[in-house]
């Protein structure tokens, strides 16, 4: 029987994900704190709820994708939160990247309502969300995962089971540390070469012909070369994920020295007002320090 979905959070990621579920013909009830963002969904055929509780009331599956731990706690446990109305036997799938500790606590609250909670953060940015090609990293009860697969298959091309509650988030934080560091070091290296007069296309060809080749750099370099930092994934959220990774490292008693430094570079870029740009804008932090710009066709002086 077709499942009914409550969908909470219609930001850069949530909008296209919810739209894919509506287009797939599922019964979807959406909620977003800022109601205007629900309008495109209403036009596409979704029901619009005025609270998370209303979105969850009839749902077999409740999807959440909001900014951070505080936001998930608010939509789950706050006034008119989804845990007030969630049905016994339903599954809550939280695709926000939040603290694994908070996520496990919320899973206990859900269990108190005879509902299952899966942490299911995603990678693939808004492009993958629009194409229905996200990769999900999932923690929690494998039986609950099986029950929600008929919904998740419309959103992703890969669904990787990582282990008990919190394991999906632990995987996501490690993956984002690597992604954040790769783009940060891309900025350092390309600015250093630009200062020495190397054309960015030449360095890109060198890097992509070597074992340092990276799909991420393939994707990001053209945007950096055009100076286009419209957000696929915002710098402030990448900084949040680095903070969460350090918190997780503390809890696990492991050392992540490179991640600690990379986090501070993102913090500095955010403090400069770059938080709402794509996280690749971290490159401009190094451009401004060095007085050169990494742009296609040339390594331009800062006055360019
Ligand atoms: P966006 O585009 O910044 O969207 C954030 C969403 O979270 C948006 O719908 C917000 O509602 C919502 N939000 C934020 N705070 C709250 C609170 N307190 N209560 C309810 N809703 C809230 O982020 P992305 O879509 O790029 O990313 C979402 C998650 O996926 C994040 O964890 C990433 O790390 C991965 P608003 O429209 O502002 O009212």
Q: How far apart, in whole angstroms, are the C-alpha atoms of residue 231 and residue 281?
A: 9
Residues 101, 85: contact at Cβ < 8 Å?
no
273 and 134 housed in the same domain: no
In this structure, the answer to whether residues 197 and 271 fall within a common structural domain is: yes
pLDDT at 150 over 50: yes
Question: Would you say the CB of residue 71 lies under 6 angstroms from ligand 1?
Answer: yes
Range of the domain at 289: 170-301
Distance 181 CA to ligand 1 centre (A): 23
Residue 24: phi and psi, rounded to 5, are: -80, -5
For residues 279-299, give the mean pLDDT. Answer: 88
CA distance 88 to 152: 20
pTM for the full predicted model: 0.93
Q: How far apart are CA 69 and CA 163, in angstroms?
A: 20
Give the three-state DSSP class for 61: strand
Q: DSSP per residue over 168-198, as a string?
A: HHHHHHHHHHHHHHHHHHHHHHHHHHHHTT-
Count how many residues are written for the chain.
304
Which CATH number do you get for residue 256? 1.10.1040.10
Residues 50 and 146 occupy one common structural domain = yes
For ligand 1, say whether the CB of 38 is within 6 Å of any of its atoms: no
CB 114 within 8 A of CB 85: no
Phi, psi of 209 (to 5 degrees): -95, -5
How far does the centroid of ligand 1 lie from the alpha carbon of residue 7, in Å? 12
Residue 297: its pLDDT value, please? 53
Ligand 1 binding pocket mutation candidate from 6, 9, 96, 156 (most atoms within 8 A of CB)? 9
- Domain edge (last residue) among 164, 198, 222: 164
Least confident of 46-60, 75-89, 134-148, 286-300: 286-300
Cα–Cα distance between 241 and 257 in angstroms, integer?
Answer: 15
Mean pLDDT of the 105-110 span:
98
Q: Would you state the structure tokens that stand for residue 213, as one six-digit string? A: 């080749």
Question: Which pLDDT tens digit goes with each residue over 78-93?
Answer: 999 999 999 999 999 9
Catalytic residue numbers, as ranges = 172
HSE of 200 in the Cβ direction (CA atoms, 13 Å)?
Answer: 27
Task: Tell me how far the alpha carbon of residue 41 lies from the centroid of ligand 1, in angstroms.
Answer: 16
| CB of 32 shorter than 6 A to ligand 1 | yes
| Centroid of chain to Cα 94 | 11
What's the token pair of residue 182? 């790769």
Number of structural domains found in the chain: 2
Residues 247, 135 share a domain: no
Residue 300: pLDDT above 90? Answer: no
Contact 141, 116 (CB under 8 A): yes
- Are residues 176 and 119 located together in one domain of the fold? no
Question: pLDDT tens-digit profile of 58-80?
Answer: 999 999 999 999 999 999 999 99
Is any ligand 1 atom within 6 A of the Cβ of residue 34? Answer: yes
């Amino acid at each position: 029987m077709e499942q009914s979905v409550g969908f909470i959070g219609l930001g850069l990621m949530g909008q296209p994900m919810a739209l894919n579920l509506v287009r797939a013909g599922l019964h979807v009830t959406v909620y977003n704190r800022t109601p205007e963002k629900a309008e495109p969904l209403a036009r596409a055929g979704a029901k619009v709820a005025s609270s998370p509780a209303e979105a969850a009331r009839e749902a077999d599956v409740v999807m959440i994708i909001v900014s951070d731990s505080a936001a998930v706690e608010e939509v789950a446990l706050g006034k008119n939160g989804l845990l007030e109305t969630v049905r016994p036997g339903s599954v809550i799938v939280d695709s926000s990247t939040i603290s694994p500790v908070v996520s496990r606590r919320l899973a206990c609250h859900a269990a108190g309502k005879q509902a299952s909670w899966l942490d299911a953060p995603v990678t693939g940015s808004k492009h993958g969300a629009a194409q229905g090609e996200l990769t999900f990293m999932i923690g929690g009860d494998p039986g609950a995962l099986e029950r929600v697969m008929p919904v998740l298959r419309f959103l992703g091309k890969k669904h990787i089971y990582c282990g008990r509650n919190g394991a999906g988030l632990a995987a996501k934080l490690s993956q984002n540390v690597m992604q954040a560091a790769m783009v940060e070091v891309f900025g350092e290296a390309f600015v250093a070469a630009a200062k020495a007069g190397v054309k960015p296309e030449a360095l890109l060809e060198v890097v992509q012909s070597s074992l340092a080749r990276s799909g991420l750099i393939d994707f990001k370099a053209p945007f950096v070369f055009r100076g286009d930092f419209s957000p696929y994934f915002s710098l402030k959220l990448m900084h949040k994920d680095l903070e969460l990774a350090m918190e997780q490292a503390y809890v696990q008693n492991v050392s992540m020295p490179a991640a600690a430094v990379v986090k501070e570079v993102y913090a500095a870029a955010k403090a400069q007002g770059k938080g709402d740009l794509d996280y690749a804008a971290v490159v401009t932090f190094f451009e401004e320090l060095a007085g050169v710009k990494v742009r296609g066709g040339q390594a331009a002086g800062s006055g360019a």
